[in-house]
Amino acid sequence: MSLINFHIFLISTATIFGFWFGSWEFAAFSHSKSYIDLAAAIGSTAASFALAIYLIWFVKKKKPMLKD
């Protein structure tokens, strides 16, 4: 496994985990009404969107190298 493929795997895993954690925190907020849960949910979801955008950009940039 090349370093590029490992980076793609790592960012994909972080993105999936971030979206999962964001949804879990939104569910916790719906029960507790604690604004800490809401802040964590929004922050995690926003970071996951940023990671997803970065992942798309990275794959497009490295696509010629992935064919080797």
pLDDT in tens, 24-55: 999 999 999 999 999 999 999 999 999 999 99
pLDDT band at 62 (very low <50, low <70, confident <90, very high): confident
How confident is the model at residue 67, as a pLDDT?
66
Both tokens of 50, joined, read 């940023």
- Which of residues 2 and 16 earns the better pLDDT score? 16
pTM over 0.85: no
Q: In the predicted model, what is the mean pLDDT of residues 7-18? A: 96
Classify residue 29 by its DSSP letter: H
Q: Are the beta carbons of 19 and 48 closer than 8 angstroms?
A: yes
Dist CA 41 CA 67 (whole Å): 37
Residue 64: pLDDT over 70: yes
Helix 35-66 vs helix 3-32: angle between axes, to the nearest 10 degrees? 160
